[in-house]
Structure 1
């Protein structure tokens, strides 16, 4: 058994953050709506940047976005928008910040209709990557194919998060089978 090729290639100390993410988060299902939304915020903010940058700023994102509270973010107004635009600890991109706020409002509607964001996703599962992308683009802001793919792979809805022989991937697949 060997870890995913990417993890095996990590040689620099600054990149070890990827090993922790790989071993404990990548491909793992998320039950909590705020955490699920937080992963979507992180994936949206990664667009055009390295995942290392986003992982290193995760705690800053959590603090800036009220621990990814959908309820609080949905109420953000101009003052919060400006606060985020001036926060050097996160990605200061108008489109990405606006997407987080608007997507929180959309998720609140989905929660009312389906009981939770997770239940909305579960209701649509399984789909192909192309079907998911079409659904997300129709439903949310700033959700192109790569963002949707990584969000769904990182939360266990799409396969491909781990190489076939990776022990973390094997553990996740076994857990899925045990739950059926």
Structure 2
């Protein structure tokens, strides 16, 4: 049983499983790893204007595309990496959001 009361009524089942995992294992839990915090920042940047469910469905794609959210690796992304990200169907392919993720890594 999830602590989130909205989850039991969600349909279809895949949607329920996706949200249950997020609410029971991630949402509201403290993060003490800088790379994981950076990963949350990337997800939040990309969520702007979209549903959180869209981002949850692509979370693994983001993790893969952004070097497992390794801040140092993302900070060293080249123009070729930017172009690769803009072609990656596993993430949100918005130039401003891609640039924001890379520039934030450099700032951190």
Q: TM-score higher than 0.5 here?
A: yes
User: Cα deviations across residues 26-54 of structure 1 (Å, max 9, x unaligned)?
Assistant: 00001110000001100111111111111
Q: Residue in 2 aligned with 1:36?
A: 37
Aligned to 2:107: 106
Distance in 2 (CA, whole Å) between partners of 1:37 and 1:29 is: 13
Runs (4+) of structure 1 exceeding 2 A deviation are 2-9
- Structure 2: distance between partners of 1:30 and 1:18: 19
Task: Note the residue ranges of structure 1 that are not aligned, 5 or more in a row.
Answer: 108-180
Counterpart secondary structure, 2:6: helix
- Contact 2:46/2:97, CA 8 A, preserved across alignment: yes
Q: How does 1:4-153 map to 2 (within 5 A)?
A: 4-15=4-15, 16-107=17-108
Tell me how many residue pairs correspond in the alignment. Answer: 106
Bigger RCO of structures 1 and 2 (CA < 8 A, at least 6 apart) = 1
User: Structure 2 regions of 5+ residues with no counterpart?
Assistant: none
Q: Distance in 1 between matches of 2:41 and 2:90?
A: 18
Cα separation, 2, equivalents of 1:72 and 1:19: 31
- SS of the residue corresponding to residue 106 of structure 2 reads helix
- SS at 1:49 equivalent: coil
C-alpha deviations, 1:107-132, integer Å up to 9, x for none?
1xxxxxxxxxxxxxxxxxxxxxxxxx
If you compute each CA radius of gyration, which structure gives the higher value, 1 or 2?
1
TM-score, normalization: structure 1?
0.56
Equivalent-residue separation in structure 2 for 1:11 and 1:36 (angstroms): 30
Shift of residue 69 of structure 1? 0.6
TM-score, normalised on structure 2? 0.92
Q: Say whether the 8 Å CA contact 2:3–2:24 is kept in structure 1.
A: no
